[in-house]
Homo-oligomer: A and B are copies of this chain.
Amino acid sequence: MNYKAIDSQDIEFLISVCGKGRVFVGEEINEDFAHDELGGIEKLPEVMVEAISTEEVSKIMKYAFDHHIPVTPRGQGTGLVGGSVAIHGGIMLNLTKMNKIVELDEENLTLTVEPGVLLMEISKFVEAHDLFYPPDPGEKSATIAGNINTNAGGMRAVKYGVTRDYVRGLEIVLPNGDVMEVGGKIVKNSSGYSLKDMIVGSEGTLAIVTKAVLKLLPLPKKAISLLIPFPDLAMAIETVPKIIKSKTIPTAVEFMERAAILAAEEFLGMKFPDKSSDAYLLLTFDGNSKEEIESAYDKVAHICLDSGALDVLISNTQERQESIWKARGAFLEAIKASTTEMDECDVVVPRNKVADFIKYTHELQEQFNVRIKSFGHAGDGNLHVYVLRDERTEEAWKKILGDVFECMYGRARELGGQVSGEHGIGYAKRPFLIESMGNNGMELLKNIKLAFDPKNILNPGKVC
């Protein structure tokens, strides 16, 4: 693709829109902006601009559109697939300064926010009003627009669904600079193709989210976590479809292995309540009465014990729950700290195929003699599997990673799964999306992209 290189006139224009203090060129750009959380895909933008209003975003996009300059929107850069890396250079549009909570509407149960508000700020804000924003991805310092653009799911998807289900409306800036509102504070909508749902999960390739209207729920009054040790991981995971079949829906069902727990303990410098077993299920139940929750977890506890669980540890204090969930939140960082480099696979499979898939990753570990660590959302079939480089040479690492990924994504397809449950496709996962969708499917995605972005200037090289 032939994009226009940034020149001094472009910089002048950007300064005329945003002022000198929010336009960064060349060495003024922090190296962090060359990659995302996982790293591996590296490229600095030619210029990085911090926008603070929809109007600025619109002006910049119109200019970039007219001059054929690529634009990469960016939040906190916590992604794992290179979605926010400016692989074609050009302008990086940093939206983290658009970080105001605009309005809480308690009569419509909506929260209107700017794109750069952090997930942890949203939960803190709404919980203070006895309200609840259910999506709960592990990375709490991600921006809401990042979550919207990957359709992040998180722990509570089992009961509450994913980010898509909590986006009622969006203000977006199209690649040509047009500002548009899609959806709104409304509960239903059948008014033409759902542009809102097209933007959710589009990884910043179709439009830039400049405002979001989120759906809230009343905050459940009580929550309880169960930590359930099993003799081995297969036994733990095979219990999950039985739980689902029992017609009890927990809020979250995570699985974890001792190795991940030990790594998290070391990383956090804090103790996990139990690490005597090889494998654990971690479940949460929430609701409005103690009775309601107790009757649910009592049933599930019996199912687990009948399926070979060694014990059922109930965490009903805030403190104990926090120590468990904090460890769970640190798995990614902890595994990352235990090796030289790693890459991730975020497939999603039907819930009753999780055990099959994890067993297969263990086979691959043996077959390729490579460390593979996993944890994830057993309750919704979304796995986070990490392949560790350790002391391999660059060449050996590329080879083994390619082979292992080819096997894993192939198996996920066989099991009726998809390439990504919540991290997205970005730059890194495109080959696997092509294998999954086929050429005709990719052609359709590309045509949709062109419907929004006929000059292919918005986050080019990502998704399709």
| Chain A residues proximal to chain B, CB less than 8 Å | 105-109, 130-131, 150-153, 157-158, 161-162, 164-165, 174, 178, 180, 183-195, 197-198, 200-202, 206, 217-219, 241, 244-245, 247-249, 288-289, 291-292, 295, 346, 348-352, 377, 379-382, 416-425, 433, 436-437, 440-441, 444-445, 447-452, 463-464
Contact = CB atoms under 8 A, between A and B. Distances in A.
Most interface-central of A165, A198, A423 (chain B CB within 10 A): A198
A189 to B, nearest CB: 5
Contact of A193 (B158, B183, B206): B206
Contacts of A187: 153, 157-158, 162, 348, 351, 379-382, 421
A186 B448 contact: no
A126 to B, nearest CB: 12
Contacts of A131: 247
Contacts of A157: 187-188
Q: Is the interface of A mostly helix, strand, loop or mixed?
A: loop
Contacts of A158: 187
Contacts of A437: 192
A193 B448 contact: yes
A91 to B, nearest CB: 23
Contacts of A247: 130-131, 218-219
20 contacts: A105-B350, A105-B352, A106-B244, A108-B244, A150-B190, A151-B188, A157-B188, A180-B440, A186-B349, A188-B381, A188-B382, A189-B421, A190-B423, A192-B201, A192-B419, A192-B425, A193-B448, A195-B444, A447-B451, A448-B448
What 10 pairs across the A-B complex have the smallest Cβ distances?
A447-B451, A218-B247, A197-B197, A187-B380, A107-B241, A107-B352, A188-B421, A185-B350, A153-B188, A191-B418
A54 to B, nearest CB: 16
Most interface-central of A164, A195, A350 (chain B CB within 10 A): A350
Given A107-B244, A151-B188, A448-B448, 15 more contacts: A150-B190, A174-B440, A174-B444, A180-B441, A186-B350, A186-B418, A187-B380, A190-B346, A190-B424, A191-B419, A192-B445, A193-B449, A218-B247, A219-B247, A450-B451
A198 B419 CA distance: 19
A158 B215 CA distance: 12
A245 B417 CA distance: 40
Nearest to A207: B444
A161 B463 CA distance: 29
